[in-house]
Amino acid sequence: MGCFSILQYAQRHELYEEVDLAEIADECRKKTGQTPVVVVDGRQCVWLLYRGCDFYCGGQYKEFREACTNLVRRFRNCGVHLVFYFYGLPSVDKKEKWVRLNRESAEQMSKSLRTAHEQGSTRVRPKRHPEGLVPCAHVIFREEPNSEVRLSTGICHQEIAQYAASNTNCLGVMSGNADFLVYSGVPSLLILHGESKAEEGVSLRRFRPAVIASHLGIRLQHLPAFGTFAGDSFIKSDELQRVHGRLQDFYNCRGNPMAAVAKLVKDNAVDEMCRIAFGDRWAEFLETVEVGIGQYGCKPTVSDSPTEGSDWSQVLHFIESKHVSGEIPGMVLSLAKSRIFRAGAALEDMADGAQNGLSTAEMLQPMRRRMYTVLLWESGEGPFRVEEFFTRRSDVCQEEVEVSKWLPPGVTHPGLRRLWTADVESRWRLFTWIVGAPDGDGSALRSLQPQYLAVPAAALSFLRHEACCLERHEAEVLAVVAVTVGRLSVQQLAQKQLPSLDTRAVYLASLFVRTALQVLDAAAICGLSFPRDSECLLDAYFDGIFFHELYLKAKAQSFARIGAHLPRDRPHLGPLHHLLDVIEGTHTSRQ
């Protein structure tokens, strides 16, 4: 919410209960005869779990995975099932708003990042977490017992609210977003309270909309209008400040804008609310207010039915079913259905670390264009275009990419449904073509052990030989991290401290993480799964602080002794030399 938050109001007036999860879960179980459920705002949860970790060096993924599994375990021990919702499909209608908000955010971030780099400091936390956290959370939570992941197909918060309102065994929504106190039918807003270990249970603060409405002197059905006039994003903050001043004078409650808004919405129709709030300009804001109020009504999400006789619509239906259950990255449905690709800004896209002025998203365009070919192969004759949005410094750029319907000799496309269910060899041939691997059948990547090393190998090979933005010694440092980070415990990684930040190292970490994620996207589009998806996540082969530490050590030695700090035994050196051979030794020019 904008100017004033109903959640802040409730906290200030202590309009909550401190509850024990096991107790309220037991009450729900006795009442409904079903397993209690908490629906979780996934992005907010990621922020909560990652607090205290590094924001600049690319991410601390082992610590993040441990935090995720501990959270689920704590709820599981209380007999509670978790349903995580994540943002899944960008709205075409809100494209301009997305561009505006990202441009404003990038401008603010550019200033703070310049200061941080000049001072070599990480004390000021950016308002963006490392890019790999949310994609990793999708997989980690989906593979945990007693939890599931859902990706939205519409407005994510509305789908969360709809789930909570329509399930009698739902205890509430776990989030820090005040909107869930306003959505119709949501039983409660839950916020973790206090630090607890897995075996100690879960303490929560429970905020009930009915209690807050009663304290304000209004009814539950007034809350959507209250939320709209209290601080909803549909009305700009400067206009809301004027409205709040006018309402406090009108209702003679100066210094208490919440009380003034409550009086406004209590007994007035929407048009009368607007007349009082906006004066002579009321008609100008009527539609905006109606839309703001309407967004809080929980309506069932209706998925498009496949058109009979249309092969592509059947493919879309197939993709959407996997999207909703979190089996594939959200980007896949966005490309297939909306033809939109949005690359949220990596931190270094807003600073001065980029090479040749290109953002990390631009560096990866060649790989992405081959991904479009494989994904949209059955979509018709075309021409088809994908709208790409990416951030460069403090601006948001837009580019239209025409999708090619060409594959190289020896590479065939059997159709997505067959590709995702049966044809293993076609998967590898298409995957290696997308990522730019030197051998057409992926034999070099497939020879790596452990198998998850195929992901960093593909990423580093692409950055070295096609994007040409990574020096050999830089790739070697990243390769050392990839083969050794798995041998370090969470506690060992958490103890590492950096004396200073290196701008180039921060940029390389951003670039590597984004490339590894795109390699995983390519694998998903080709239906390629490794022994377990969770084994190929970033924590297996990357840690930002560890990489930064090794980079600074190597730089101090002019990069002359890459890997010299490693124990001189074959278990360490064998996989490293094999990985470097795949990245460098067997490379041939792309046809």
- Residues 434-454: tens digit of each pLDDT: 999 878 888 999 999 999 999
Under 8 Å CB-to-CB from 159, ≥6 apart: which residues? 85, 150, 152, 153, 301
Mean pLDDT estimate for the chain = 87
Percentage of the chain exceeding pLDDT 90: 62
Among 143-147, 231-235, 348-352, 412-416, the least confident range: 348-352
Two tokens at 126? 């950016």
Q: What mean pLDDT comes out for the span 91-120?
A: 66
Q: How many CA atoms lie within 13 A of 39 on its CB side?
A: 26
Residue 221 one-letter amino acid:
Q
Q: Which pLDDT score is estimated for 161?
A: 96
Distance CA 452, CA 36 (A): 36
Confidence of residue 499 (pLDDT cuts 50, 70, 90): confident
- Looking at the predicted structure, is the pLDDT value of residue 332 above 80? yes
Q: What mean pLDDT comes out for the span 445-471?
A: 94
Q: Which pLDDT score is estimated for 588?
A: 45
Cα separations in angstroms, 73 against 60, 141, 145, 329: 20, 11, 9, 24
528-533 long-range Cβ contacts below 8 angstroms, 24+ apart? 528/427, 528/428, 528/431, 530/451, 530/452, 530/454, 531/451, 532/143, 533/139, 533/143
Q: How many CA atoms lie within 13 A of 296 on its CB side?
A: 27
Q: Which pLDDT score is estimated for 350?
A: 60
Other C-beta atoms closer than 10 Å to the C-beta of 468 total 11
Through-space distance between the first and last CA atoms of the chain, rounded to whole angstroms: 52
Query: What is the tens place of the pLDDT at every residue in 283-292?
Result: 999 999 999 8
Q: Is the pTM of this model over 0.75?
A: yes
**Tokens 């990621």, residue located:** 46
Query: What is the tens place of the pLDDT at every residue in 374-389?
Result: 999 999 877 789 998 8
Confidence of residue 562 (pLDDT cuts 50, 70, 90): low
Q: What mean pLDDT comes out for the span 572-583?
A: 87
Confidence of residue 498 (pLDDT cuts 50, 70, 90): confident
Q: Which pLDDT score is estimated for 118?
A: 66
Q: What mean pLDDT comes out for the span 220-246?
A: 88
Q: Which pLDDT score is estimated for 561?
A: 61
**Strand order from edge to edge, sheet including 395-402:** 340-343, 385-392, 395-402
Query: What is the tens place of the pLDDT at every residue in 293-318?
Result: 998 886 655 555 554 556 899 999 99
In the chain, the domains with their CATH numbers are: 6-216 (3.40.50.1010), 223-294 (no CATH)
Q: What mean pLDDT comes out for the span 34-51?
A: 96
**Tokens 């670390």, residue located:** 353
Distance CA 532, CA 142 (A): 12
Q: Which pLDDT score is estimated for 214?
A: 96
Q: What mean pLDDT comes out for the span 393-412?
A: 86
Buried b (16+ CB within 10 A) or exposed e, 134-153: bbbbbbbbbebeebebbbbb
Confidence of residue 424 (pLDDT cuts 50, 70, 90): confident
Q: Which pLDDT score is estimated for 591?
A: 34
Strand duo 189-192 + 203-207: pairing? antiparallel
Buried b (16+ CB within 10 A) or exposed e, 21-52: bbebbeebeeeeeeebbbbbbbbbbbebbbee
**Helix 270-278 × helix 237-250 angle, to 10°:** 90
